[in-house]
Amino acid sequence: MDITIRNAQQQVDEWINTVGVRYFNELTNLGILMEEVGELSRIMVRKYGEQSYKESDKHKDMADEMADVLWVLMCLANQTGVDLTDALQKNFEKKNIRDANRHKDNEKLK
């Protein structure tokens, strides 16, 4: 069964309000989001960049770290009343207008 963004936001909210007891405040969740992005970054710069792995990093799961980022982002969206499905649709519309030819005309991408 596929999960939609809207459904995932609802499931996160349900989990937070039952298992998680309550949401951390918005600033705490922003800090947690930055931590999770940092953990993802650590994996990416070692896998695709020039840094070597530390022993403690060798068994980290990039997909799990991406899911952690998405989870906390959904918490923040829920807390601030943002419907990520609507926001993403509007973002696509914005990019399709603003960037219609921008990347095609970029000599650096050719």
Q: Is residue 35 part of a domain?
A: yes
| 40 within a domain of the structure (yes/no) | yes
Say if residues 23 and 14 touch (Cβ distance below 8 Å). Answer: no
What is the value of pTM for the model shown? 0.89
Contact 8, 74 (CB under 8 A): yes
What's the rounded Cα separation, in Å, for the pair 75 and 34?
13
Is 98 among the domain residues? Answer: no
Percent of the chain with pLDDT over 90: 79
pLDDT band with cut points at 50, 70 and 90 for residue 101: confident
Number of domains, the chain:
1
Q: How far is CA 91 from CA 22, 85, 87, 99, in A?
A: 30, 10, 6, 11
Q: Is residue 95 domain-resident?
A: no
Whether 94 maps to a domain, the answer reads no
Q: Taking 90 as the threshold, does the pLDDT of residue 12 lie above it?
A: yes
* Three-state SS at 110: coil
Is residue 92 in some structural domain?
Answer: no
CATH number at residue 78: 1.10.287.1080
In a domain, 76, yes or no: yes
Q: Are 96 and 103 in contact (CB under 8 A)?
A: no
Q: Which domain holds residue 26?
A: 5-83
Q: pLDDT tens digit string along 14-39?
A: 999 999 999 999 999 999 999 999 99
Alpha helical stretches, state H, the chain = 5-18, 26-47, 62-80, 84-98
- 43: in domain: yes
Band of the pLDDT at 1, cuts 50, 70, 90?
Answer: confident
* Per-residue pLDDT at 100: 85
